[in-house]
C-alpha cells in the first residue's frame, strides 16, 4: 500500500479584493501518495496557482486541513512553514530563480546553508546532484554562461539537494523550446522513477500527458481527477 504524502480536506482559500470576496479554492479534498507523478492543470483563474502555493506551504488555507507527511501544516506560522519548505519540498520554477552572480554549484548549495550543513558536506552533496542532472562539467559556470535547459537542470539539482518528499514544478518548461522541454521532462521522469513524488503545474497538454495522473481545476474546484497512461516521446539526439 502506498504511503500518503499529501491529504487535503475541504480546503478553501478566499481573498478580499476591495469589497469583493474572491473564492479561489472551494472545498478541495485530495490525496497524493508517495512516488506519484501528478499534473495539475486549469485555465487562468481556475485556482491552480493558489493550490500550488498551498501545497508548497507558501500560503495557508482560509479553512480546511492540509496534512503533509501526516503533519497538519494548515495552521502553522511563517517560521514553521519555512522549515517545512526547506526540508520537505523542492521547488522548480519557470524562470529558474537562480542567483545570477553565483555559480551553478553555489546556487545548488544554497538550501543546504539554510539547513545547517557544513561547507564540505554542502559541496559534496551539491556535486552529487549536479552529476545526476549531467552538469558535472558546468558546476563553476554562472547562469548567463548556461543555456536555458542547463539553467533548468541547475534549478532541478537545487530542488533535489535536500532530498525532499515532494518536487513541485511550476511550468518547468514554460521558457524552453520544444526539444529542451522534452529533455527536462525526461529528466523529471528519471527522478520520479528513482522514487520522488512530483507535482507539475502546467497549462500544456503534452506536458501533462507525461504524468501518471491529471487533476484539472475549474473555478476553484476539482473538475476531474484521472489516471493517465504517460505518453513517452523521446528527444532526437
Residue 82 forms part of a structural domain: no
- Three-state SS letters, 102-144: CCHHHHHHHHHHHCCCCHHHHHHHHHHHHHHCCCHHHCCCCHH
- pLDDT, residue 237, reads 39
- pLDDT, residue 140, reads 97
Residue 236 forms part of a structural domain: no
**CATH code (residue 113):** 3.40.50.300
Parallel/antiparallel/unpaired status of strands 213-218 and 20-33: unpaired
Residue 80 forms part of a structural domain: no
- pLDDT, residue 5, reads 96
Q: Which domain holds residue 184?
A: 35-53+87-227
pTM of the model: 0.90
Residue 65 forms part of a structural domain: no
- Separation between Cα atoms, residue 76 and residue 82, nearest integer Å: 10
pLDDT by residue, tens only, the chain of 237 residues: 579 999 999 999 999 999 999 999 999 999 999 999 999 999 888 999 899 999 999 999 999 999 999 999 998 999 999 989 988 999 998 888 999 999 999 999 999 988 889 999 999 999 999 999 999 999 999 999 999 999 999 999 999 999 998 999 999 998 899 899 999 999 999 999 999 999 999 988 999 999 999 999 999 999 999 999 987 655 443
Plot region of 195 (φ>0 → left; ψ -120 to 50 → alpha; else → beta): left
As a residue count, the chain comes to 237
Residue 75 forms part of a structural domain: no
- Strand 221-227's sheet: what is its strand order? 89-93, 166-170, 197-201, 37-41, 213-218, 221-227
- pLDDT, residue 56, reads 95
State the total domains in the chain. Answer: 1
Residue 74 forms part of a structural domain: no
Amino acid at each position: 500500500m502506498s504511503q500518503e504524502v499529501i491529504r487535503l480536506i475541504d480546503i478553501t482559500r478566499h481573498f478580499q479584493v476591495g469589497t469583493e470576496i474572491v473564492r479561489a479554492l472551494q472545498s478541495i479534498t485530495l490525496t497524493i501518495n508517495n512516488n506519484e507523478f501528478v499534473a495539475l492543470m486549469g485555465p487562468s483563474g481556475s485556482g491552480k496557482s493558489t493550490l500550488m502555493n498551498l501545497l508548497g506551504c507558501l500560503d495557508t488555507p482560509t479553512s480546511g486541513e492540509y496534512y503533509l507527511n501526516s503533519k497538519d501544516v494548515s495552521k502553522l506560522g511563517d517560521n514553521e512553514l519555512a522549515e517545512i519548505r526547506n526540508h520537505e519540498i523542492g521547488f522548480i520554477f519557470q524562470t529558474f530563480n537562480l542567483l545570477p552572480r553565483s555559480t551553478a554549484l553555489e546556487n545548488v548549495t544554497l538550501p543546504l546553508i539554510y539547513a545547517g550543513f557544513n561547507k564540505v558536506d554542502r559541496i559534496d552533496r551539491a556535486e552529487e546532484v549536479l552529476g545526476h542532472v549531467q552538469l558535472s562539467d558546468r558546476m563553476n559556470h554562472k547562469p548567463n554562461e548556461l543555456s536555458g535547459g542547463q539553467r533548468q537542470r541547475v534549478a532541478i539539482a537545487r530542488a533535489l539537494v535536500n532530498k525532499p518528499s515532494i518536487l513541485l514544478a511550476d511550468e518547468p518548461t514554460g521558457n524552453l523550446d520544444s526539444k529542451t522541454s522534452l529533455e527536462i521532462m525526461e529528466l523529471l521522469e528519471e527522478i520520479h522513477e528513482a522514487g520522488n513524488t512530483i507535482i507539475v503545474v502546467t497549462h500544456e497538454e503534452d506536458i501533462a500527458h507525461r504524468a501518471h495522473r491529471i487533476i484539472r481545476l475549474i473555478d476553484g474546484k476539482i473538475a476531474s481527477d484521472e489516471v493517465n497512461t504517460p505518453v513517452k516521446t523521446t528527444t532526437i539526439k
